[in-house]
Amino acid sequence: MTTSTFETIGKPPVDQFKVKPNLDPDNVGEFDWEQVYSELDWLPGGGLNKAHEAIDRHANGPRRDKIAMIWEGKNGEREDYTFGQMKELTDRFAGALQNLGIETGDRVFLFLDRIPELYIAFFGILKAGAVVGPLFSAFGPDPVRDRLEDSGAKILVTQPDLRRKVAEILSQLPALEHTIIINKNGRDESALEAGDLDYDAQMEAAPSDFSIVNTSQYDYSIMHYTSGTTGKPKGAVHRHQACVQQYATGKWALDLHEDDIYWCTADPGWVTGTSYGMMAPWTNGVTQLIYEGGFRASAWFEQIQKHKVTVWYTAPTAIRMLMKAGVAVPHRYDLSSLRFSASVGEPLNPEAVVWGEEAIGMPFHDNWWQTETGAIMCANYAAMPIKPGSMGRPIPGVELGIVDDDFNAVPAGEDGNLVVRPNWPGMFHAYWENSTMYNSRFKKGWYITGDRARVDEDGYFWFVGRADDVINTAGHLVGPFEVESALIEHPDVAEAGVIGKPDPIAMEIVKAFVSLNDGVEESTALRNDIMRFAREKLSTMVAPREIEFVPSLPKTRSGKIMRRLLKARELGLPEGDTSTLEDDD
């Protein structure tokens, strides 16, 4: 990794601003979150609600007729929604939920493509005081069942094709009371199944005005499931007060200003798609583009040109795919509207930062955070020089540390565990009904991120790697256990061990080592069948891209699969300490 500063490659990005940057990192002075809290608009009853901060405060003021959402559908449809319209629609959905008996703290899950109704339902759920659980629409039945079951969700809001995809699991969920179906613009002919509720009918029957439930800043608002090394994914639960940091980092790390057209490419099934694809722009009253279509280099640049996007937040895998398509593609488009671009989710190669200069006329600003942190924690913020390859410096009000395994500070330049001083506003407050796991993330006054990193003399942080077996594929965390569990459900599979294999585009791909049941012959057809089986159960993203048959898997004497060893063997690296390895005979 290079440690050169940006100046050695190009001019400091601070010179490129067409508007005044809103944070000078060397002049932050004594920072106090109270200052940011006081910029929020508290509820009349003294509470705090994310939907009020993102929607109603603007709808009730001068931004009432300002466009909040420009939606471009996958078939080229266009719909615009003002803050005022968003208020009316989210009020109605909140009322519909109350009609169905939803109360404060109930869980309502979303399993939808990127359609406007997803955003309406999202904020309607928050207005009703319930907890929203967004699900990635590419998921197959297993991840959807695990999440609905664990959270005890009462309502699932989905669309006809996705409902069909997971039909088999819906009857296995005793807590699930209703399934609401959104048939966007009548796209699907056979929309409702017996027992389903129709979104349009529920909206029509609901009152047009709704008083937001007086949630406190400490009430639960959103849960996102995230993968760890062991067990199934855990539901990281956030509180309404996370919006304080989402709002502030929208200004500091994404440089949002009043007249921006902002585009976050992340899917709302993941935390970036909610914290920065909803909360950050809308708490700042900024117009954002929601593009339903998938990735295609030319289509993406066309979006920027057509909608005059000014601030763009994307991810390293996407940038690497754009790089692969070549600079000729962006050069065919007028991208002069762009003022600021940023990236998150995986390490951003220094070359990718610099490529931005050539391709879009500006570097990408890398920043770091996690599902658990709820908001950006460390960033190459708008107002400071970038160091390509670094994730920047901690945001004001956040203390990061690099410590050894005994929590002693590690000197600048040396690798260690990345830890955070607890109680930043966006901090998750629970893993849903798993306090043991939650508590295990806090030790000796620090929150343990699970990442390894180092800090340089200038206070810039550099990502080194994960401290555990979690795989980061195209910016999405995949827990090996989840994939192994799905694989061993295949009738011919005896055991499976899953690792992340380095990949030039996706950073890592999911690779599985599989041993077959006695008497089963290895074959290409069987390998393909196991892959298809995993893709249908999980999703193309989570399922293994490579499967290798092995006679048996290395295990510890207590029977744990030694993924570290599988990885070392895959990469041709030293196998390290194998003293706990079980004998093969």
Residues that bind ligand PRX (CB under 6 A): 226, 271-272, 344-347, 366-371, 391, 449-451, 463, 466, 472, 477
Question: Minimal distance in Å, beta carbon 35 to ligand PRX?
Answer: 25
Name the β-bridge partners of 466: 451
Closest distance of CB 215 from ligand PRX, Å: 24
Residue type, 535: R
Q: How far is the CB of 384 from ligand PRX (least distance, A)?
A: 16
Q: Please, which residue, 220 or 364, has the CB nearer to ligand PRX?
A: 364
Q: What is the CA radius of gyration of the chain?
A: 24
Contacts (Cβ under 8 Å, ≥6 apart) of 326: none
DSSP lists the bridge partners of residue 82 as 67
Q: Which is nearer to ligand PRX, 288 or 370 (CB)?
A: 370
CB of 252 or CB of 533, closer to ligand PRX: 252
DSSP 8-class letter at 83: H
Q: How far is the CB of 274 from ligand PRX (least distance, A)?
A: 10
What is the nearest approach in angstroms of ligand PRX to the Cβ of residue 372?
7
Q: Determine the residue with CB nearest ligand PRX.
A: 371
Query: CB neighbours of 184 closer than 8 A, spacing ≥ 6?
Result: 73, 113, 115, 117, 159
By beta-carbon proximity to ligand PRX, the closer residue of 245 and 272 is 272
Query: Least CB distance from residue 343 to ligand PRX, whole Å?
Result: 7
From residue 409, how far is each of 233, 323, 405, 453, 466 by CA, in Å?
30, 38, 10, 12, 19
User: What are the E-state strand segments in 182-240?
Assistant: 197-198, 220-226, 234-239
Residues 6+ apart with CB under 8 A from 400: 377, 378, 394, 418, 419, 420, 421, 455, 461
Of 25 and 316, CB closest to ligand PRX: 316
- Under a CB-based contact definition with an 8 Å cutoff, are residues 244 and 37 in contact? yes
In this structure, the number of other CB atoms found within 10 A of the CB of residue 509 comes to 18
Scan for tokens 């009316």, then name that residue. Answer: 88
Output phi, psi for 578, to 5 deg: -115, 25
Instruction: Return the number of the residue (23 or 344) whose C-beta is nearest ligand PRX.
Output: 344
Instruction: CB nearer to ligand PRX: give 303 or 367.
Output: 367
**Shortest separation between residue 515's beta carbon and ligand PRX, angstroms:** 29
User: Is the CB of 94 or the CB of 352 nearer to ligand PRX?
Assistant: 352
**Least distance (Å) between residue 467 CB and ligand PRX:** 9
| Distance in angstroms (rounded) separating the CA atoms of residues 281 and 493 | 47
Instruction: Indicate the residue among 148 and 418 with the shorter CB distance to ligand PRX.
Output: 418
For the bound state, the minimum distance from the C-beta of residue 68 to ligand PRX, rounded and expressed in Å, comes to: 23
Residue 570 DSSP SS3:
helix
Q: What is the DSSP string of 262-293?
A: EEE-S-TTSHHHHIIIIIHHHHTT-EEEEE-S
